[in-house]
Chains A and B, each alone.
Chain A
């Protein structure tokens, strides 16, 4: 779990508006805090699919699964099983 979370944070730092110094709480909204936009989310999704060799069905592309670190981590854990 922690490893996945760190990977996502590294990705966000390298590819979005997230500052290197700033910290992100597990349940903070990525979209409402302006960390990522719709194009960015699709790119993040492509990254996740490739990195974890998973396919994310469209009906999982929801705020619950994609708008926070915790949501994304839970989703990857579920799908990577």
Chain B
């Protein structure tokens, strides 16, 4: 089955039930099903072709996504918060001939941006699509491929995670179970739908015949009004909660009818849990863990264990097996550090057009997550950082070495080092330590970062240093960079 087939089923069984809400508008399952069919008419000549989707979050985005599925094509949602040149890099590596976009994004990105596409469809509010150009090309794609989600690519080589119908459905089924989503539930989607977490909210709620209320985090009053409008399950990354917890009284009032506060995208820290508990004592807090490479979710921490085990990721979701392997791919005993691995129907097909990267991540059917972990005696799993140098910045997984290279290649500097630093709302932001060259100007570096990197990667400060941040054994790592940063700050 495909995700969109569930919508057809609910359109028959519970046609009047609300599927999506946005602002003052809502759409029933029956209308949603019809709107998807209208868009499908536009796409019917294309067979299993890649379609980039460049659209802001909203009901229309969901309709387009489902129509691409229903017409048996492949959806490639573009993360619209990325700067233009990052999107161009994705498009360059993804070989996409077709794009569907909204009026808003068409005028924002401009005509030139769309010249690379053979087919351009502009979709308007009433779900009617209009061809600006149409050119059908035959594509050789993995026969199971349905959705490509991009995990990185802000600076380095973008990686497209290939997902199948089976992946999407298996993961949505697991999520429905752990969150007990029923047709009476209403989920809040205020994070980006173009990434794994947001995408999983859409899939699991539509597959359960429940509704999704779509908004964003931009305007606090609007977010709280959304939460207070009978939302039963709220989803956020840790920084979402940090932002909302700035407004204690509003939090208390508008979360009073929310049954579950779910999180993913980064570890919930004890202080967030404590504050939520104080303001909404009856709420169930449900931290989850996952990766795009696993469609979305891999593990969850059962609500009753949140207070004791919040520093762990809990246990595998139904349908997934987690283990910790040593460097020879053998399971290790509790208390021994190894790499977290996972298997299940939610594990990706591989990376788009990149077999080498795929072979490194999926070995003998196990997804190697790159997260270092230990099993606890009770079977729960604790994460201990990354095997590679990746870090979480504002709940996004980023490669600091790629950011450094990108800044070095485009500016007059000798060396650049990215330092993860504490940030009140994002959890972690970055600062830069720079070994200057002749002509290095701090203002120019700031300007470059603002222009070329997404907002969460804009450095909080830029410090000049005069030597490499080497460790005792002469290597540069996140740890040696952080040590050097502490040293520089202490001597300021």
A-side residues, CB < 8 A to B, are 15-17, 19-20, 31-34, 36-42, 58-63, 66-67
Contact = CB atoms under 8 A, between A and B. Distances in A.
Interface string B224-263: 1000000000000001000100110010000000000000
B108 A37 contact: no
B328 interface: no
Contact of B80 (A34, A39, A61): A34
B217 A38 contact: yes
Contacts of B83: 17
A61 B394 CA distance: 22
B250 A38 contact: no
Contacts of A40: 455
Contacts of A32: 56, 104, 108
Given A34-B108, A62-B222, 5 more contacts: A39-B425, A41-B218, A58-B220, A61-B219, A66-B218
Contacts of A20: 447
The 5 closest A-B pairs by CB, nearest first: A61-B220, A38-B217, A37-B455, A61-B221, A62-B221
A37 B450 contact: no
B456 interface: yes
Given A37-B455, A39-B455, A67 B218 contact: yes
Nearest to B453: A17
Nearest to B425: A39
13 contacts: A17-B83, A19-B451, A38-B216, A39-B455, A40-B455, A41-B219, A42-B220, A58-B247, A58-B250, A62-B219, A62-B222, A66-B218, A66-B219
A62 to B, nearest CB: 5
A38 B450 contact: no
Contacts of B425: 39, 42
A22 B80 CA distance: 20
Given A38-B216, A39-B239, A17 B451 contact: yes
A27 B455 CA distance: 22
A59 B223 CA distance: 11
A70 B299 CA distance: 46
B426 interface: yes
B275 interface: no
Nearest to B240: A38
Interface string B436-468: 000000000001001100011000000000000
A66 B108 CA distance: 19
A60 B220 CA distance: 9
Interface string B186-227: 000000000000000000000000000000111111101000
A59 B221 contact: yes
Nearest to B108: A33
Most buried by B among A17, A40, A59: A17
Nearest to A18: B450
A69 to B, nearest CB: 16
Contacts of A16: 450, 455
A61 B222 CA distance: 8
A71 to B, nearest CB: 11
Contact of A34 (B81, B217, B394): B81
A36 B217 CA distance: 12
Nearest to A15: B450
A49 to B, nearest CB: 12
Interface in B9-35: none
A11 B300 CA distance: 41
B219 to A, nearest CB: 5
A39 B104 contact: no
A60 B221 contact: yes
A69 B9 CA distance: 46
B86 to A, nearest CB: 12
B483 to A, nearest CB: 28
Contacts of A58: 220-221, 224, 247, 250
Contacts of A34: 80-81, 108
Interface in B57-106: 80-81, 83, 104
